Amino acid sequence: MPAPHGAPHHYSIGRKGRKDEPPWLEPLCRIAVDFRQTNRSIYQLFDEANPDLSDRSGFVALVESRLRADATLVRAWQDYSADKRVDAGPWVDGTKVGYYIRGHDNRDKRTHRTPAAACADFIYREARVVLSQPPTHRRSAR
């Protein structure tokens, strides 16, 4: 049984046999690609990845490292964010990230040194939002 969201995972050998990579890292980083290529909802993809959200800085460091190794993943997350049609939620654009609320100024804006760092921050924010939605509000971000 997977650990609940936010609960620490006991890591096993992950992608490429590296012990320091948790099993959720690769599926999580591929969500933006898989969202375009499958009929699964954004909630289903995040739920299946089951990321450990208990340590924001550790999460962001792991995800940023993985994204730096594959620019196509960074582009996929940038495109996913640009295509979102929501009344409120996180966004990423280049090296900037924030939280959008329709009819209000953008909130919690930050500028990162690289697009990979901005995407890692965005993915953490998006995972928190998507996985915290009550079942009746789980829907596609399209």
The closest alpha carbon to 22, from 43, 51, 42, belongs to: 51
Chain segment 53-91, per-residue pLDDT in tens: 999 999 999 999 999 999 999 999 999 999 988 777 898
Say if residues 141 and 90 touch (Cβ distance below 8 Å): no
pLDDT over 90, % of the chain: 63
pLDDT band of residue 3 (cuts 50, 70, 90) is very low
Give strand ranges (E) for the chain.
88-93, 96-101, 107-111
Reduce the secondary structure of 18-42 to three states and give it as a string: CCCCCCCHHHHHCHHHHHHHCCCCH
> How far from the centroid of its chain's Cα atoms is residue 58's Cα?
14
How much is the mean pLDDT over the chain?
82
Instruction: Measure the CA–CA gap between 110 and 105, rounded to whole angstroms.
Output: 14
What is the Cβ-side half-sphere exposure of residue 77, based on CA atoms within 13 angstroms? 34
Q: pLDDT band for position 16 (50/70/90)?
A: very low
Residues 66 and 77: beta-carbon distance below 8 Å: no
pLDDT confidence of 15, banded at 50, 70, 90?
Answer: very low
DSSP summary character for residue 93? E
pLDDT (average), residues 42-50 = 94
pLDDT at 19: 62
Please state, for a pLDDT cut of 70, what percent of the chain lies above it.
Answer: 77
Q: What is the pTM of this model?
A: 0.80
Query: What distance in Å separates the CA atoms of residue 67 and residue 114, rounded to the nearest whole number?
Result: 11
